[in-house]
């Protein structure tokens, strides 16, 4: 893993005790709060949900450091009819969502050019190279030292054509400093006995890791934040208060007002509520990701495993085996379609018929996606002391700590380690 940068290990503390409110207590929000806290700020998180009960809870739990290729790829427009017709595939588009999502989708498809893909990947790599260094001080402060595993992540394919299709993207990842290694049947079986004899083609990502439990990971970071003097208010923020071009705090839905010298909006898809106050027009979409959690699966996994052709992951967590990752373009405020999760489970049982499903739980996380699949990490041009950290798509868990460190650098008025122009809220 990378060494901890000086800015992370020795934060610069403000001369006076300043206050900050972070709207959103998911993985990005809590990491922003922790890094602000490390910088000497008195921080309050505002979130209506319980700690850990967020979008990232229903994710594969991977530190996907080389998952820098945007979802939009050459030829994607030709796949849209298939997404509309086949609601059982890894990617699906609800026909009812098409009219509302069409403007966003046209922007999304425009990112499928090779030059655009390479530009996005290069920008994302500047963030993901620091993932482990940025998480290190936050995890060191937690009591549980096994929150992040040490095992790499495996991807398996039905046939060699799957790997061949990925080769251009694997080459791009390699050119940007990320590793992968091809696996044969024997190697897959040795690494993951549960899959022995079932797959003959795979990839090992030695620089990826997986957390021990998505919900527990976020909850542990939240506990650490509170133990170090942070405050978490379980309520919903109604608006950002302001005066003379500056944010002065937030007002809660119950009318209570919380004052602050800085405000950070890190509420995922819920960040839309604050766009007018922030002075941004951002094409932020909610894309549903479904999961099935098996508390006692009867099958042991040593690694987090992506089944590429099935379009889902096997994620071994302390609370059970979570199976999911399928994506659905469902439209804003759409009700979840848990048949998607049932489909995932059916596919998983074809691979592992011995899976036990007693006590299974279905879940959905609404990923905050932007058309170019890059997050927004920026300062508001309308309110000079308001900051934005949302739109991380499938990489919220991966980029939580790096985003938190960058937000803290901006709040303190220090130069950021990374160039944040590619992640501007005004690029649209």
Q: Is residue 339 situated within a structural domain? A: yes
> At residue 276, does pLDDT exceed 80?
yes
The rounded distance, in Å, linking the Cα atoms of 286 and 265 is: 17
Domains of the chain: total: 2
Domain that holds residue 247: 6-56+216-283+373-423
**32-41 tens-digit pLDDT:** 999 999 999 9
- Mean pLDDT over 105-129 rounds to 93
Name the strand (E) or helix (H) holding 153. strand 153-157
User: Which pLDDT does position 329 carry in this prediction?
Assistant: 82
Residue 76 has a pLDDT of: 64
Q: 232 and 106: one domain? A: no
Has this prediction a pTM greater than 0.85?
yes
Element (H, E) at 365: strand 361-369
Check whether 1 has a pLDDT greater than 50: no
Strand ranges of the sheet holding 19-23, from the earlier edge strand across to the other edge? 231-233, 42-46, 19-23, 262-265, 386-390, 376-379
In the structure encoding, which two tokens stand for residue 117, read together?
């893909």
Handedness of CA 127, 21, 284, 309 (dihedral sign): positive
Would you place residue 417 in the very low, low, confident or very high pLDDT band (cuts 50, 70, 90)? very high
Pairing state between β 305-307 and 312-317: antiparallel
Query: Quick check: 143 pLDDT over 60?
Result: yes
Q: Are residues 324 and 358 in the same domain?
A: yes
**How do residues 285-298 score in pLDDT, each as one tens digit?**
998 999 999 999 99
Q: Are residues 220 and 356 in the same domain?
A: no
In a domain, 47, yes or no: yes
CA 229 to mean position of chain CA atoms: 26
314 near 348, Cβ under 8 Å?
yes
Tokens of 25: 């207590």
382 and 393 co-located in one domain: yes
Residue 30 three-state SS: helix
What's the CA gap between 348 and 127, in Å, rounded? 33
Do 83 and 42 fall within a single domain?
Answer: no
Specify whether 44 is located in the same domain as 191. no
Judge whether 320 lies within some domain.
Answer: yes
- Note the pLDDT tens digit of each residue in 65-105: 999 999 887 666 666 666 666 666 677 788 888 888 888 88
- On whether both 80 and 220 belong to a single domain, the answer is no
263 and 249 in contact (C-beta within 8 Å)?
A: yes
pLDDT digits (tens, 9 = 90+) for 322-338: 999 877 887 777 788 88
Q: Looking at the structure, do residues 228 and 264 belong to the same domain, yes or no?
A: yes
Domain annotation covers residue 348: yes
Percent of residues in the chain assigned helix, strand, coil, to nearest 5: 35, 25, 40
Mean pLDDT of 373-402: 97
């Amino acid at each position: 893993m990378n060494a901890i940068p000086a800015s992370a290990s020795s934060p610069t503390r403000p001369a006076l005790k300043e206050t900050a409110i972070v709207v959103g207590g998911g993985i990005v929000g809590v990491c922003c709060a922790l890094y602000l806290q490390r910088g000497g700020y008195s921080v309050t998180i505002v979130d209506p949900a319980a700690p850990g009960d967020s979008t990232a809870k229903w994710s594969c739990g991977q530190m996907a450091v080389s998952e820098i290729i945007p979802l939009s790829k050459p030829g994607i427009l030709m796949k849209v009819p298939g997404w509309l017709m086949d609601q059982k595939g890894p990617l699906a588009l609800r026909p009812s969502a098409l009219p509302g999502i069409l403007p966003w989708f046209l922007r999304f498809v425009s990112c499928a050019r090779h030059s655009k893909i390479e530009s996005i990947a290069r920008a994302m790599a500047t963030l993901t190279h620091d993932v482990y260094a940025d998480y290190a001080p936050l995890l060191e402060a937690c009591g549980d030292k096994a929150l992040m595993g040490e095992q790499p992540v495996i991807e398996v394919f039905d046939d060699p054509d799957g790997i061949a299709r990925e080769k251009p993207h694997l080459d791009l990842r390699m050119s940007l400093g990320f590793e992968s290694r091809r696996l044969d049947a024997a190697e897959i079986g040795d690494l993951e006995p549960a899959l022995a004899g079932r797959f003959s083609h795979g990839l090992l990502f030695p620089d990826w890791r997986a957390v021990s439990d998505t919900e527990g990971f976020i909850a542990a970071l939240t506990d650490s934040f509170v133990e170090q003097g942070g405050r978490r208010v379980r309520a919903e923020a109604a608006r950002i208060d302001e005066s003379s071009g500056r944010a002065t705090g937030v007002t809660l839905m119950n009318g209570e007002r919380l004052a602050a010298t800085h405000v950070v909006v890190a509420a995922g898809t819920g960040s839309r509520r604050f766009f007018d106050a922030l002075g941004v027009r951002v094409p932020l979409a909610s894309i549903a990701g479904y999961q099935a959690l098996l508390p006692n699966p009867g099958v042991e996994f040593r690694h987090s495993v992506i089944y590429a052709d099935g379009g889902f992951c096997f994620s071994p967590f302390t609370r059970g085996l979570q199976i999911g990752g399928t994506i659905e373009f469902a439209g804003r405020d759409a009700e979840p379609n848990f048949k998607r999760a049932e489909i995932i489970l059916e596919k998983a049982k074809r691979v592992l018929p011995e899976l036990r499903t007693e006590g299974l739980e279905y879940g959905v996380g609404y990923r905050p996606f932007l058309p170019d699949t890059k997050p927004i990490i920026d300062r508001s041009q309308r309110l000079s002391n308001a900051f934005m950290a949302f739109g991380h798509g499938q990489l919220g868990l991966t980029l939580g700590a790096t985003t938190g460190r960058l937000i803290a650098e901006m709040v303190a008025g220090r130069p950021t380690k990374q160039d944040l122009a590619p992640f501007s809220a005004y690029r649209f």
